[in-house]
Amino acid sequence: MPGTRKLGRTTANRMAMLRGMVTLLLETGKVDTTLTRAKEVRALAEKMITLGKKNTLATRRQALAFITKEDVVKKVFDQIAPENANRNGGYTAIYKLGPRRGDGAEMARIVLLSEVEKKVAEDKASKKSKKAAKNVEAPVEEAPVEAVAEEAVEAPAEETATEEAPAEEATEA
């Protein structure tokens, strides 16, 4: 059940930490933290995105009461929530990173799925543009290759003539 983990902190300290982490997640799109904290941040961040989908004055005020930066609230209501309008929850993903070196705590990265989908779309677009660039450049490259091949055919005839000339000079000397 979300919200029941104490994380070894008092209530006020824990809520301040989680508010800061949710704000950072919504601002940057990803946060590296321990697995248990990531699970708590996921629940709270998804609540904020759900508030953003309603987009009323009351929900904006509720988000402002929790998120610590006004520009992040604006980003949630103007960018993140509309991108996830057709999705019913599951706005974040948690990836395990392995144990932390100092104390062995299980580390995780929590990521907004809309950010991941943007990167995937950009990667596909860049691959298509690279492919298109290669297809455009390929015919241009073929023409010089043929010209070089014609020069290569002519070059051995010239080389044989220069090779024969020194041989004749050697017989005369």
pTM confidence score: 0.69
Of 22, 79, 82, 21, nearest in space to 46 by CA = 22
Element (H, E) at 97: strand 92-99
Are 47 and 102 in contact by the 8 Å Cβ rule? The answer is no
Are 26 and 75 in contact by the 8 Å Cβ rule? The answer is yes
Burial 92-129 (b: 16+ CB within 10 A, else e): beeeeeeeeeeeeeebbebbbebbeeeeeeeeeeeeee
Tell me the per-residue pLDDT of 119-142, one tens digit each, with 9 for 90 and over.
Answer: 787 888 888 888 777 776 655 555
**In order of start, what are the domains of the chain with their CATH numbers?**
11-113 (3.90.1030.10)
Which residues have a Cβ under 8 Å from the Cβ of 37 and sit 6 or more positions away?
Answer: 7, 17, 18, 21
Tell me the per-residue pLDDT of 26-85, one tens digit each, with 9 for 90 and over.
Answer: 999 999 999 999 999 999 999 999 999 999 999 999 999 999 999 999 999 999 999 999
Are 110 and 41 in contact by the 8 Å Cβ rule? The answer is yes
- Tallying the residues shown for the chain, one arrives at 173
